Structure 1
Amino acid sequence: MREATNEGRGPLYRLYINRIRRSLVAERVPHHVAMMIDGNRRWARQLGFDSAAHGHRAGAAKMQEFLGWCDDVGVRVVSLYLLSNDNLRKRDSQELADLLEIIAELADGLSRERDWRVKHVGRADQLPAELARVLADAQERTRDHTGLHVNLAVGYGGRGEIVDAVRSIIAQHEREGGSLEELAASLTPEQIGEHLYTGGQPDPDLVIRTSGEQRLSDFLLWQSAHSEFYFVEALGPDLREVDFLRAIRDYTRRDRRFGG
């Protein structure tokens, strides 16, 4: 079995980390960062593990570390893409069972970390009852917390989220006695945004994806319309603080055009 490297832990590395930190302009640090952690299975395979669970567990540990990095530089909202609706249908049954357990452990752990506020975004009714309960408990436990806001996208799909938002708008309009014609005439992007799972939150300023993949994979499709993107070659568990800080530094130097 090949050993994982311990690259980037020496004094010169820490010196470089601190240099990047000092270069960041606080006012330009993104308010909301979305993270697509990818490559956990490849990481486990490359290290010779016989189960993808080792990669998923290492990836979960890295996400807890990642949230600390975000909190330390002043990011206020982080969305983590942990399990898509497609994953629920397509993953091998044992791998999925392991992944569900790891996500439950992560959610519970995060709800006891600092003053972070945890929110589940996704379809709870698509999840096993135990995981749905853990996510609901984590959300309730942190309901009054005022620190880093952590969205856990579990049982999530961007297209499904938009469908759910439209259904919610139609149901509300019907309860208020309005007609479909009135709804069609009055519907706005802002109204749809309010009914998304992330309703009331700012859209992500920066979306990061690991493992060199450059696609959205049905994550925050509506919310990321004007987001900046940053792709990291490192596999999820190998993500380093310097990779994160370079992403933040790169973002602070960009001229955001918001579709212009």
Structure 2
Amino acid sequence: MPVPPAQSAATRGPRHVAIIMDGNGRWATMRGRPRIFGHHAGARRVREIVEACPDYGVDYLTVFAFSTENWKRTQAEVAGLMSLFRGYIRREARALLANDVRVRFIGDRVRLDAKLVGLMDELEALTQQCQTTHLTVALNYGGRDEVARATRRLAEDVARGHLRPEDVNEETLPRYLDTCVLPDPDLVIRTSGEARISNFLLWQSAYAEYEFVDTLWPDFTRAEFGRLLASYARRDRRFGGVKVAAAGGAVAR
């Protein structure tokens, strides 16, 4: 599929897009189906968006699959989600490899069952040489939990003498985050009409642009993805700086 005209200058588009995939349960309920039916529909939507990334110039895609707070859901729903994750990895591994997609998982793996963790490790190893698209799946992930775990590892290095306290700054901490090998997201999208970030990539998204859309995740199409990327390309990101006026002056924004 060709890149839309508004996005044809790929350098203007976001290199890294992060998505809070919300609305699966409501989508299923609206159709009189169990919530897990919506999660399966949402998983199929992930493939479409991943496959669209190269056409839109997106190198990195990070999706929020399961948060540290999602354990509060019913035991049946959590068990269904864990089964879905295992099935997704088994089912999609070959397609991900064929499409040159490198997969990484972020989040705390301690609470996940050993079989799922083993599949995650296998998929990461299988796709480690892929370079076209970098797909990161946030699984049992929470931004505050990530920062706490990173701070703990940093403190351990200070205690061992590997790092001096005076060398700890905002450039140091990111090296201990789960996302240490990834660029910060340029654009964060949340579906389903909710306008909050839900503890997702708190550190990394400090200067990200945001899009909150009403579409429920299973209905989020490649075309809507393209429209949001085109909208991002029209924005002026200054990272706290100023916009230079045409006559040479500076206009603070």
Q: Deviations over 1:194-246 (max 9, x none)?
A: 11000021100000010111101000000000000011111010112221111
Residue aligning to 1:129: 114
Q: How many residues of Structure 1 are paired with residues of Structure 2 in the alignment?
A: 237
| Structure 1 residue 118 corresponds to structure 2 residue 103 | yes
| Structure 1 residue 45 corresponds to structure 2 residue 29 | yes
Contact 1:110 1:116 in 2 (8 A): no
Residue aligning to 2:251: none
Matches within 5 A, 1:99-110: 99-110=81-92
Contact 1:111 1:117 in 2 (8 A): no
Q: Deviations over 1:87-107 (max 9, x none)?
A: 02x011111111111122223
Matches within 5 A, 1:49-198: 49=33, 51-88=34-71, 90-112=72-94, 113=96, 114-176=99-161, 182-183=164-165, 185-198=166-179
Contact 1:205 1:228 in 2 (8 A): yes
Give the alignment's TM-score, normalised by structure 2.
0.89
Task: Flag the 1:248–1:128 CA change in 2: closer, same or farther, 3 A.
Answer: same
For 1:175, give the aligned amino acid: R
Give the alignment's TM-score, normalised by structure 1.
0.87
Task: Flag the 1:63–1:171 CA change in 2: closer, same or farther, 3 A.
Answer: same
SS in 1 for 2:69: helix
For 1:157, give the aligned amino acid: G
Task: Flag the 1:252–1:177 CA change in 2: closer, same or farther, 3 A.
Answer: closer
Task: Flag the 1:171–1:37 CA change in 2: closer, same or farther, 3 A.
Answer: same
Residue 70 of structure 1: how far off its partner (Å): 1.6
SS in 2 for 1:35: strand
| Structure 1 residue 27 corresponds to structure 2 residue 11 | yes
Structure 1: gaps of 5 or more residues: 1-16
For 1:77, give the aligned amino acid: Y
SS in 2 for 1:42: helix
Residue aligning to 2:199: 218
Structure 2: gaps of 5 or more residues: 242-253
Cα distance in 1 between the residues matched to 2:91 and 2:191: 23
Cα distance in 2 between the residues matched to 1:128 and 1:253: 44
Cα distance in 1 between the residues matched to 2:93 and 2:186: 24
Contact 1:161 1:196 in 2 (8 A): yes
Cα distance in 2 between the residues matched to 1:109 and 1:74: 26
SS in 1 for 2:239: coil
Residue 175 of structure 1: how far off its partner (Å): 2.6
For 1:186, give the aligned amino acid: D
Residue 110 of structure 1: how far off its partner (Å): 4.2
Report % sequence identity.
38
Residue 117 of structure 1: how far off its partner (Å): 0.6
Aligned partner (choices 237, 240, 248) of residue 256 of structure 1: 237
Q: Which has the higher helix share?
A: 1
For 1:154, give the aligned amino acid: L
Aligned partner (choices 231, 238, 256) of residue 219 of structure 2: 238
Residue 177 of structure 1: how far off its partner (Å): 5.5
Residue aligning to 1:11: none
Cα distance in 1 between the residues matched to 2:174 and 2:121: 22
